[in-house]
Structure 1
Amino acid sequence: MGASDFSKLPHIGEAIRRKEDYRFLTGAGQYTDDINLANQRVAVFVRSPHAHAAIRSIDASRAEAMPGVARVFTGKDVEGKMGGLPCGWLITSTDGTPMKEPPHPILAQGKVRYVGDHVAMVVADTLQQAKDAAEAVEVEYDVLPAVVRVEDAKKGPALHDAAPDNRCYKWAIGDKAQVDAAFAKAAHVTKLDLVNNRLVPNPLEPRAAIGSYNRASDEYTLYVSNQNPHVERLLMTAFVLGLPEHKVRVIAPDVGGGFGAKIYLYAEDVALTWAAKQLNCAIKWTCERSEAFLCDAHGRDHVSHAEMAMDQDGKFLALRVHTDANLGAYLSTFSTAVPTILYATLLAGQYTTPQVYCEVDAWFTNTAPVDAYRGAGRPEATYLLERLVTRCAWEMGLGQDEIRNRNFITQFPYQTPVALQYDTGDFHACMDKAKKLAEVEGFAARRKASEARGLKRGIGYSSYIEACGIAPSNIAGALGARAGLFECGEIRVHPTGSVTVFTGSHSHGQGHETSFAQVVAARLGIPIENVDVVHGDTGRVPFGMGTYGSRSISVGGAAIMRALDKIETKAKKIAAHLMEASDADIEFAGGEFTVKGTDKKIPFGQVALTAYVPHNYPLDKLEPGLNETAFYDPTNFTFPGGTYIAEVEVDPATGVVRIDRFTAVDDFGTIINPMIVEGQVHGGLAQGIGQALMEQCVYDRETGQLLTGSFMDYAMPRADDLPSFRLDTNATPCTHNPLGTKGCGEAGAIGSPPAVINAVLDALADLGVKDIDMPASPSRVWEAIQAAR
């Protein structure tokens, strides 16, 4: 079944209410912290108060003597008994050498390298006993100088012996000679320096984990709030603990948001699982919010210089970029891929720029590890490019819409100069629809009305593209991935005709239990309530690579479609036998099997029952049962794109920015459930606007102390900070997956930051403000206005 045929089926494109919401809204969800096992103790981690220090000694004797304390584990207890946390993506430097990959111990050994680094784990009968004992662990430190920013990392001191200059790698993509030649003949060159601010993910549910061990079976179970339990198990067993994979079960129950921060294998997960055997008990740890600020993987943190070469008409000739990326103190699971494969390959954007060259230096600093956060490299690329394109427009005397329209790609497939090949899109259509929805024609009148009230009004554009459904495995492997990037789906048809779907994708707010059920119900012609979706359990699901990179429906859904293909093929043979026809003459639609050219037909449910009660069954040709499993490895990324238009008012007296209206028009290909898509876009826009105007993770430059360690200091957007968004879509279905879908989960966070900042700068242009970094907080905007005066 092709994508065009699939999109016409019942249930596809219907705004069906989410099946899972009843249990969430009534408090019946089951999150990791809701689970309590027999013989369970509680863990608390002793964390470093210093950004960089040598550990002289650890004395846990007083703590271990306290009531209820079972054990205090330190780096000496785990040294030589397990490996460190692995990095899942190898990057090769421009000189051909592999990236520097220093050890990342489960508990600190000899040195701590960021505030929050794991020093010891206290296990006690109750949480309060564990907290009290953690306070009693005595650690002597020799404090060392800290490096926080990339410019400081270049000068030292060294964090790791393996990286004496603090550089992890120098990487590049594109043809530098061709780019330099294009710049030499350019009529105009626009230059821009910008910072992509560090963010703290802050999902509603903090991380949590319970490690347990069964002596009778020699099996471990880890309950964990995680986005990809199979990958968690693979990394933990194969690279850290050296355990047989079949002896470890990882269960990720309901997960209250992830945004990338719950993709990774964390030290806490390993420590709990290993210690469960040592103490012969289950051990539970639930992260507190202030702890999460310190130890969850952060996002973004790039410092870049970008240049665009143009001809006299504003046509792009070449793009040249240098980025310094802050990786934090250690390499997190996918951290090395974010500023390289997931960033630089998107710098062509929606434009026919003939040549692009990007060079990336990645640095270790005394800060929390940085990894993928909603969008993962694509927001960084889009922010750089769309800020630069708007600056090009202003310098060339063109409108923000006009310069984009002059440079949009119009012929597909389109091979970019930075590896990716876009299969389809219609960028002009998204722009036109966005301008109409945003009522751009009335902007001048609205600006005049704002001026009358002493306010400055600006409009900002952003035309983004992203690469979703990371794939294919062989290409990803050639680019350094240390894992496959396929997905698995199993369809289990029951005798009554109801269906259970087992998917390797994991839902943590995306609505899989509804959208996947819509796909199966549409294909089999059965009621949606007859489809159950199971995920998040390595003991029940064959395998899977989890949920991130907007891959669930395009990769996980495609795997389910392949399993459904197998179900249909077998079911047609059973139906042919029942109707005494050739299986080549059997057609299947609307939940019924028919014989071509006749009025013979039987329902899907009858075929399902026959498969399990095979009294009249082609046993010589088919096995009983109707279960099928399929794996899907995409042949390419999918490429959602769109145009966002922000309109803001700025009070020059206070620097306060108010978003008056925000318009988003996206191309997500085939849409399964528009209500779920709209919710995903809303969430992404809130996070992107939060980055643009409010959020910033700040460390003290001298001491490495986290200055924004709570919601008292780290500003998150509230409902009254955001307008009612105007949303629409313009679909060009993906050409290489059976659903025609492209992914929608990260788009809002990718396209919105540059639109907002471009609008703020447009508002302040006549005051002489040329640039401003995110977040455009009132103080920062006010200071920029004063400096321009």
Structure 2
Amino acid sequence: MTQFGASQPIRRVEDHRLVSGGGRYTDDIDLPNQLHGVVVRSPYAHARITSIDIGEARALPGVVDILTAADLDKSDANLLPCMIPLKNRDGSNRADPKRPVLARDIVRHVGEAVAFVVAENRHAARDAAELVMVDYDELDATVGAARSIEPGAVQLHPEAPGNVSFDWSAGDEAALEAAFARAAHVTRIELVNNRLVVNSMEPRCLNADWDAAAEKMTVYAPTQGGWGLKNFLAGSLLKIDPSRVRVITPDVGGAFGMKLFYYSEAACTAFAARKLARPVKWVNERTESFLSDSQGRDHVTVAELALDGDHRALGLRVRTLADLGAYHSSFGPLIPSMATAKVLTGAYRIPALHFNVKGVFTNTVPVDAYRGAGRPEAIYMMERLIDKAGRETGIGPVEIRRRNFVSPEEMPYTNGAGEVYDSGEFRRLFDACLEKADYAGFPARKAASAKQGKRRGFGISYFIEATGGNPTEGADVRFETDGTVSLLVGTQSGGQGHATAYTQIMAEKLGLPHDRIRVIEGDTDRIPSGGGTGGSRSLTTQGAAILNAGDRIIEKGRLYAGQVLETALDDIEFDNQSGEFSIVGTDRRIGILELAARAREIGAVDGHEETGDNGLDTRGSHTVPVFTFPNGCHVCEVEIDEATGTVAVVSYAMVDDFGTILNPQIVEGQVIGGVAQGIGQALLEHTVYDENGQLLSGSLMDYCLARADNLPPFDFSTIEVPCKTNPLGVKGVGEAGTIAGPPAVMNAVFDALAELGVERIDMPATAEVVWQAMQAARAAA
């Protein structure tokens, strides 16, 4: 093991540059002769456009052009595609209403793009946007999935009768009905997974530059991988070969899924840049982000768990209404259906499952993947449900989990959705976390809180996640003439520490000094293909591809070392501690960097198809055969003030299994950051629309993110159970905290209020909501 290799808690190699002001984000990039774009947005949730008058705005000094739907329609470019086909439970296709880049005749949510103003500077563009006169005939709106499928509800799309996009199911309904028929007890729960605004640190933005001579578009944008954007701009918008679009992604200030998707503003900016033959820059403002960025979650679920006489699970029935917003977002239909189904049964042995979900259109911002993308929704349901089952049966939340965990002896285990868990020691992690959280000492802490006028609750969450995303990734390794090594990767960091993790893998494999390795990402010309970042896929796919590249470099290096050291191939060995090739049993050796330079001079050698002018340069790749399944136990304690209903998270312990740990510091930071977002969802964050579709929580004055004083001390540890389907043994970590956090917090809230008889509180459990629930329970009692 090298000092800077795998499993070492080294500091992130990116941090010095970023914290010392050396970051380079898209808004830092200004191009010569650049124009600026501003979007004209609908003030109505549902309205018919009767006319658009751009005359006065067009005449304003500095205004260069104003795009409307008519401009894009002429080029057959007025479409934002949805990439997810889906079959209904009857075998028919989901509804397929088209989502325009710029609204044509009808707007369907507040903030929908209607026109795009381009001017010499941002101020002129803003002034002109206010002068674009759009006449609207306001229509009734519908908000909320349950309301929108009621008879007589306002219809958004003629292609989706009853506002239903899809009616999808998974599992074995006959087996489930048989399981319920022999159940000794059935626990039922109704809950809401509240809608969230993503709120990444860096808002979306884009800078597009059309080279008319080369007929090539270069785009700068904060993405989670520019290849999707490249293909969208080339195919759907500009109608050119993808090789003539280059997407460069500089530093990215957070993404969480939202920066994967296709948006109107990107299309308008690129379209205008080509039309005007000048660079065009567009930057979203924070308040605009609330109206235009894809939002997350928003499920209404009813779930039932059938138990036998020993309180062991027989079957799980789940019915969900998923609010899709006004249109299908890029991957919107995937999240409440297939992505949620993967781990719907959690870490438990539940033989029968049937899951039905209806996707519903409403007059709100479209919904898509948000950190965890379906798995937080699934685990929140499961952990709330099994907690309630433990209370109803009298054996409690701890014992019912112990009785129903899948055991290590059952691995590989196929869950009710057909996913195969390759490894996991759920009971071991569960017991370790209870000990870490001092479960035995909780009654004493509860009594102490009561003396202070506070109700204390103990909440458990056991999560399991299925990683996702593109299963294939490549890695190019280039030995440069200056003695450095360039590692070109197809994922994209949004702040997760990719450069550090990938450097560690390469340093460990090849014995290279970490400061000689440069990780290069975010340029679709230099890196012709990539799967991007999402679904906690980066280390399982990209890391394994880097490992494969390292193996191929050693294989090639032995051939070259045999030439240089003048010996047979079988006599050459490689030492990854020193980074040297040597003749077995002698002190004759050569370092890998020196060998790379010699290899360029030698050229091709017999015995390897990749040798040639590039020397040791190599491409590695990896395709994951199946998903990996990170998992772990989180325990939260809360105190609720009797007088105000204020919920304080006072402690939080976690024991997680992410397989082999590459960098403990990065893992801990990722998990704690995710838990902070989970606590925010559970207690603070709520996207609220009124009955007319107006967004009431439209800024950070109205929408509360978790701050430092909302967070407790965190007690973090891991137990490594290496993944059996991944060459690194890793399982992924990026989304764990947002999956585990909300049920841990909410189960603690219910535990604190159990003696009062509170039966239901949905997220967010704000002070007002909790206080009202306590008063209602006291009145009922």
TM-score by length of 2: 0.97
Match for residue 725 of structure 1 among 709, 714, 717: 714
Amino acid in the other structure paired with 1:417 = G
Deviations 1:140-198 (A, max 9, x none): 01111111111222133221122132111000000001101100110000000000000
Match for residue 544 of structure 2 among 545, 558, 564: 558
SS in 1 for 2:208: strand
Amino acid in the other structure paired with 1:688 = G
Tell me if 1:601 matches 2:589. yes
How far the C-alpha of 1:497 sits from its partner, in A, is: 4.7
Tell me if 1:517 matches 2:503. yes
Counterpart in the other structure of 1:88: 83
Amino acid in the other structure paired with 1:31 = Y
How far the C-alpha of 1:619 sits from its partner, in A, is: 10
Structure 1 gaps of 5+ residues are: 1-6, 471-483
* Cα distance in structure 2, aligned partners of 1:8 and 1:100: 55
Contact 2:2 2:511 in 1 (8 A): no
How far the C-alpha of 1:636 sits from its partner, in A, is: 0.5
Contact 1:231 1:544 in 2 (8 A): no
* Cα distance in structure 1, aligned partners of 2:302 and 2:321: 9
How is 1:134-173 mapped onto 2 (pairs within 5 angstroms)?
Answer: 134-155=129-150, 156-173=153-170
Calculate percent identity across the aligned residue pairs: 46
How is 1:502-581 mapped onto 2 (pairs within 5 angstroms)?
Answer: 502-581=488-567
How far the C-alpha of 1:276 sits from its partner, in A, is: 0.4
Match for residue 126 of structure 2 among 131, 153, 165: 131
Amino acid in the other structure paired with 1:62 = E
Contact 1:83 1:241 in 2 (8 A): no
Deviations 1:607-661 (A, max 9, x none): 1111122289669984232211233221001100000000010112110001110
* Cα distance in structure 1, aligned partners of 2:662 and 2:329: 33
Tell me if 1:386 matches 2:380. no
Change (3 A) 1:214 1:774: same
Deviations 1:511-555 (A, max 9, x none): 111111111011010111110001111011121011111111111
SS in 2 for 1:339: helix
How far the C-alpha of 1:305 sits from its partner, in A, is: 0.3
Tell me if 1:107 matches 2:96. no
Counterpart in the other structure of 2:730: 741
Amino acid in the other structure paired with 2:580 = E
* Cα distance in structure 1, aligned partners of 2:156 and 2:499: 45
Amino acid in the other structure paired with 1:164 = P
How is 1:6-21 mapped onto 2 (pairs within 5 angstroms)?
Answer: 11-21=5-15
Counterpart in the other structure of 2:414: 415
How is 1:299-448 mapped onto 2 (pairs within 5 angstroms)?
Answer: 299-410=296-407, 411-448=410-447
How far the C-alpha of 1:495 sits from its partner, in A, is: 4.3
Counterpart in the other structure of 1:660: 650
* Cα distance in structure 2, aligned partners of 1:620 and 1:419: 41
Change (3 A) 1:285 1:607: same
Aligned length: 769
Match for residue 780 of structure 1 among 766, 769, 772: 769
Match for residue 45 of structure 2 among 30, 45, 51: 51
Amino acid in the other structure paired with 2:61 = P
Change (3 A) 1:189 1:174: same
Change (3 A) 1:601 1:755: same
Counterpart in the other structure of 1:35: 29
Amino acid in the other structure paired with 2:23 = G
Contact 1:56 1:141 in 2 (8 A): yes
Match for residue 214 of structure 1 among 211, 214, 224: 211
* Cα distance in structure 2, aligned partners of 1:327 and 1:288: 24
Higher mean alpha-carbon deviation, 84-93 vs 111-120, is at 84-93
Tell me if 1:468 matches 2:467. yes
Counterpart in the other structure of 1:478: none
How far the C-alpha of 1:69 sits from its partner, in A, is: 0.2
* Cα distance in structure 1, aligned partners of 2:345 and 2:171: 11
Contact 1:115 1:294 in 2 (8 A): yes
Contact 2:46 2:107 in 1 (8 A): yes
* Cα distance in structure 2, aligned partners of 1:62 and 1:609: 65
How is 1:66-77 mapped onto 2 (pairs within 5 angstroms)?
Answer: 66-77=60-71
* Cα distance in structure 2, aligned partners of 1:583 and 1:607: 15
Change (3 A) 1:80 1:170: farther
Change (3 A) 1:10 1:210: closer
Tell me if 1:710 matches 2:707. no
Tell me if 1:287 matches 2:275. no
Counterpart in the other structure of 1:613: 601
Change (3 A) 1:36 1:10: closer
Tell me if 1:700 matches 2:690. yes
Amino acid in the other structure paired with 2:628 = T
* Cα distance in structure 2, aligned partners of 1:529 and 1:544: 25
How far the C-alpha of 1:598 sits from its partner, in A, is: 4.3
Contact 1:574 1:618 in 2 (8 A): no
| Root-mean-square deviation (Å) | 1.5
Deviations 1:35-94 (A, max 9, x none): 000110110000000001110000000000001000111111111411511111111111
SS in 2 for 1:338: helix
Contact 2:600 2:612 in 1 (8 A): no
Amino acid in the other structure paired with 2:756 = L
Structure 2 gaps of 5+ residues are: none
How far the C-alpha of 1:570 sits from its partner, in A, is: 0.8
SS in 2 for 1:256: coil
Contact 2:458 2:636 in 1 (8 A): yes
How far the C-alpha of 1:592 sits from its partner, in A, is: 1.6
Contact 1:84 1:105 in 2 (8 A): yes
* Cα distance in structure 1, aligned partners of 2:256 and 2:263: 15
Higher mean alpha-carbon deviation, 385-394 vs 731-740, is at 731-740
Contact 1:610 1:617 in 2 (8 A): no
How far the C-alpha of 1:602 sits from its partner, in A, is: 2.3
Change (3 A) 1:573 1:174: same
Contact 2:628 2:732 in 1 (8 A): yes
